[in-house]
Amino acid sequence: MRSTVLTRRVRAPVLLASSSVFHYLGPAFAVLVFVRLDPLGVAWLRIATAAAVFAAWRRPWRLLRRLTAAQRRDLVALGAVLAAMNSVFYLAIARLPLSTVGAIEFLGVVMLAASGVRTVQNAIAVVLAVGGVATLADVRLAGEPLGFVLAFANCALFMLYVVVGHRVASGATQRGGRWGGVDQLGASMLVATIVAAPWGLVHAAPALTHPGWLAAGVAVGICSSVIPYVTDQLAMALLPRSAFALALSVLPACATVVGLVVLAQRPTAADLFGVALVIAGLAVHQDIRRDTRQDFNQRKLQEGIPCSTSDSARPG
């Protein structure tokens, strides 16, 4: 019993940490591939690789006959969001430092976190996180206006991904256990491959005849889409939307570190200060597991399943 409780306590943070690292490690490798392939081609290879992995692993098409019409619409919507988000993100990081795009990406997500804030402690956490993101962004529109337009478009799409992804994860978990969301994600990746093909396949074509470039694109896809999106879906099933969104504030910090290590994009003093503010925001935000248990019990009550007093009181 104690081992089970401990596992529950560490599962969500471990999943979020894995997602945060790989969320930008794959794109950092993608920047290195841009010298050979157009960003839209790399984005399509990333999506197609993820779709192929999920197809072989989970065979997600088997879900279709068990889904309701609303769930199918969510699946298609998630696929369209993934196609647009990946493409726009890669166009942005081709023009701006990874840390800047990562910081702007988070600005939309923090709005989701703010929508779920109910305590002074969490309000302070959001203020710290927003301050850190603003410092990291260090917006200089005159330098690369198109890059910033793309970065803010990616921000909006990433926010939409969190909303739609949570809807897919919560509904699929009830139907198919903890892997239900991953199965629907795999089906959405197949949709995304088709949606992104008109603008991505032509740019990815050179890699299809060059094994080295193709291998690089496949590696980017596994690091960028398979690992982080699977961990995202599993974490979404464990956390309420507001807690998950705020926990994602670590992404700008990860983008700064990965940009330095992989791409030699050296952070300034302001960048480091912004990272510190983001980390402080994460430290201030607490009781995520308690909120998760309460949300879980609320779902059980809505489904007519009684929840014990001990379950309601037990943290984690």
pLDDT given at position 297: 39
114 to each of 127, 130, 138, how far by Cα in Å?
Answer: 9, 10, 22
Handedness of CA 196, 200, 205, 210 (dihedral sign): negative
Query: How far apart are alpha carbons 239 and 74 in whole angstroms?
Result: 20
Cα 210 versus chain centre, distance: 30
Chain centre to alpha carbon of residue 61: 23
Q: Give the model's pLDDT for residue 31.
A: 92
pLDDT, tens digit, 9 for 90 and up, residues 54-81: 899 888 888 777 778 888 888 899 999 9
> Above pLDDT 90, what percent of the chain?
24
Return d(Cα 254, Cα 102) in angstroms, integer: 8
Distance CA 224, CA 220 (A): 6
Kindly list the distances between the CA atom of residue 8 and the CA atoms of 28, 207, 239, 295, in Å, as whole numbers in the listed order. 32, 43, 11, 15
Q: Residue 5: CB partners within 8 Å, gap ≥ 6?
A: 314, 316
Which two structure tokens, joined as six digits, stand for 66? 């068990």
The pLDDT score that the predictor gives to residue 299 is 38
pLDDT at 128: 85
Q: Report residues of the chain scoring pLDDT below 50.
A: 1, 3, 5-6, 173, 287-316
Give kind and range of the element (H or E) at residue 225.
none
How many C-beta atoms surround the C-beta of residue 179 within 10 A? 18
- Amino acid at site 301: L
Q: What is the pLDDT of residue 140?
A: 54
Report the C-alpha gap between 276 and 243 in whole angstroms.
Answer: 20
Token pair for 116: 């779920």
pTM of structure: 0.76
How far, in Å, CA of 87 to CA of 71, rounded? 24
Residue matched to tokens 């098409």: 61
Domain boundaries, given as residue ranges, for the chain: 15-285, 288-316
Say how far apart CA 96 and CA 28 lie, in whole Å: 12
Task: Say if residues 289 and 61 touch (Cβ distance below 8 Å).
Answer: no
What was the pLDDT predicted at 62?
80
